[in-house]
Amino acid sequence: MTTGLLKKLIAGDRAALAFAITLVETQSKSKRALATELVQEATKVSTRSTCLRIAMTGAPGAGKSCLLERVGMELIKRGKKVAVLAIDPSSPTTKGSLLGDKTRMTELSRQLNAFVRPSPTNGWLGGVTRATGEATLFCELAGYDVIFVETVGVGQSEAAVSHVTDCCTMVLSPNAGDELQAMKRGVMELCDFFLVNKCDGDLVPSANRLKSELLSASKFMAKRRGHWSPVVKCVSANSGLNVSEYLDEMLDFHKNELDSGRLHHLRRQQKLEALRQILKENILEHFRSQSREVCEQVQSEILSDRMSVSGAAQIVLDDYYSKLTVERTEGFV
């Protein structure tokens, strides 16, 4: 059923790639079986584990898309094929800021060796782990060498995206000092590169100030990788300042990770994490669908002090397990 689609994917057919990604993004149960089959087949034939997967995160308006346009074009000049998967957890449709993303990567979108794909997640962050991981796999099969995943930094998205990428770049605006104070240390510790964007015109002094702040903050961060201290750079998507240098360091980083076997190890761990995530999501969904009513009942009991929290939890769990037993017995009849 999916063999034809897979062949087209491997041949680099962009329409087939777009179709395959739509398929894994769907939440419709009937299409899910087809999507699972496609991913299964794709996994078996996937041999290109040397692709580079980069998460590009940062607050709205930091300049992620503009930078990706620059970085992507530079990679294309160097003979690489580039894919950008832009995820927006806040946008329930492909309208809104995502159209903005498309237009901000106009030059890149027009390149034969580039594939730009906006993906709404319908507020479902778990979607980043599964659908994006699968979309990345398809991009690799279709021959893309570097795959960027653009996410709006909202704390959880960095953690989710770190499960499907090799490294993480955070883009910041020069005036993001306050944001930096508020940012959870754990989020910063997931990043390997910090780019202070918009280092041009009047913004140069504040960009340099933020760079110093980041450098001192990074000294106190726990290292995500023992051998690597995060790189902090001032860049400008407008002027192109340091874009090429960033890419050189990124490619070096990737080569080191690959040669040392660390990347291989990371991806194995990511696969197991993805399995855990999918199981967790499905089990939770099943639990919610079965236990909504009893949950509501015990909630009011707890709030009026007629029941202890642990006693209420036990009632909900007993009810859930008893339904599971009934389901299984009925299944055998």
User: Which two tokens mark 111?
Assistant: 């390149």
Give the nearest distance from C-beta 21 to Mg ion in angstroms.
Answer: 18
197 contact choice in ligand GTP, Mg ion, none (CB below 5 to 8 Å, kind-dependent): ligand GTP
70 contact choice in ligand GTP, Mg ion, none (CB below 5 to 8 Å, kind-dependent): none
Give the nearest distance from C-beta 63 to ligand GTP in angstroms.
Answer: 3
Give the nearest distance from C-beta 152 to ligand GTP in angstroms.
Answer: 5
Return the number of the residue (64 or 233) whose C-beta is nearest Mg ion: 64
Return the number of the residue (90 or 291) whose C-beta is nearest Mg ion: 90
Give the DSSP H or E segment for 119: strand 114-120
The site string for Mg ion over 116-145 (x = CB under 5 A, - otherwise) reads ------------------------------
Q: Which residues contact 260 (CB under 8 A, 6 or more apart)?
A: none
Q: Which of residues 19-38 bind Mg ion (CB under 5 A)?
A: none
Nearest-5° angle of CA 242, CA 219, CA 227? 75
User: Which two tokens mark 65?
Assistant: 């898309």
CB 110 within 8 A of CB 100: no
Cα distance between residue 280 and residue 138, in whole Å? 24
Give the nearest distance from C-beta 324 to ligand GTP in angstroms.
Answer: 42
Give the nearest distance from C-beta 56 to Mg ion in angstroms.
Answer: 9
How many residues bind Mg ion (CB under 5 A)? The answer is: 3
Residues within the interface to ligand GTP (CB under 6 A) = 58, 60-66, 97, 100-101, 104, 152, 197-198, 200, 236-238
The site string for Mg ion over 94-113 (x = CB under 5 A, - otherwise) reads -------x------------
Give the nearest distance from C-beta 70 to ligand GTP in angstroms.
Answer: 8
Residue choice 2, 65, 121, 236 for contact with Mg ion (CB under 5 A)? 65
Residue number closest to Mg ion, CB atom: 65
* 46 burial level (CB within 10 Å; 0-12, 13-18, 19+): middle
Q: Which residues contact 155 (CB under 8 A, 6 or more apart)?
A: 184, 187
Chain-centroid distance of CA 269 in Å reads 16
Cα distance between residue 264 and residue 241, in whole Å? 32
Nearest-5° angle of CA 262, CA 264, CA 265? 65
Return the number of the residue (203 or 298) whose C-beta is nearest ligand GTP: 203
DSSP state of 165: -
Q: How many residues does the chain have?
A: 333
Give the nearest distance from C-beta 65 to Mg ion in angstroms.
Answer: 3
Q: How many CB atoms lie within 10 A of CB 272?
A: 9
237 contact choice in ligand GTP, Mg ion, none (CB below 5 to 8 Å, kind-dependent): ligand GTP
Which amino acid appears at position 77 of this protein? K
Return the number of the residue (20 or 66) whose C-beta is nearest ligand GTP: 66
Which residues in this chain contact Mg ion in the complex, by CB under 5 A?
Answer: 64-65, 101
